[in-house]
Amino acid sequence: MRLFPPLRLMLLIAACSLLSCAVRPDPPEVQLQNLRIGELTLSHANLLATLRIFNPNSVPLTVQGVDYAFFLNGIQVADGRAQQPVRVGAGEYGEAVLRLSAGYLNLLQLTSALQPEEQLKYALEGSVRIGGFRILNQTFPFRREGVIDPKLLPIRSR
């Protein structure tokens, strides 16, 4: 079957528009906005980390999940995966809350190496999964570092 030139042109335009939907978007910007103690149990300290996610694209993004590892003074104290979807509008901010479960063994290792009044260095690294259908999902890595002033901690070293 032979296609007429206008029909070929329409099919070419339709194919190009479908491919433009699959173009890789700019990576979302991830910042650690807040870190607080959620609860203390006999075996773990549960921290809640709030991520602020900025979408630099001209179209909305849906964050399908976040894989993460959290370090204090170079010691990994928590890792995991958050799978609560977050929709972030074009040029807007969204928030994702991570539940960091830190075992006391890791925290004990950390506190034994911590000097009084020493600033606590943190690093949060991982990846953000965006998209809808599995074939269109894309993953973007992130890493954020900073310091926590020991005067802001509820438990101070002696």
Pairing relationship of beta strands 86-88 and 75-82 according to DSSP bridges:
unpaired
Say which residues have a Cβ less than 8 Å from residue 107's Cβ, sequence separation at least 6: 45, 77
Burial of 58 from C-beta contacts in 10 A (0-12 / 13-18 / 19+):
exposed
Query: Who has greater pLDDT, 11 or 141?
Result: 141
Checking if the pLDDT of 117 tops 80, the result is: no
All domains of the chain in start order, with CATH:
25-152 (2.60.40.10)
Instruction: Please indicate, yes or no, whether the overall pTM of this predicted structure exceeds 0.85.
Output: no
pLDDT, tens digit, 9 for 90 and up, residues 91-112 = 999 999 999 888 877 777 766 6
Total Cβ atoms within 10 A of residue 9 = 11
Greatest Cα-to-Cα distance within the chain, rounded to the nearest angstrom: 85
Task: Kindly state the tokens that stand for 116.
Answer: 């009084």
Task: Kindly state the tokens that stand for 102.
Answer: 């830190």
Task: Kindly state the tokens that stand for 54.
Answer: 């900025």
Total Cβ atoms within 10 A of residue 41 = 9
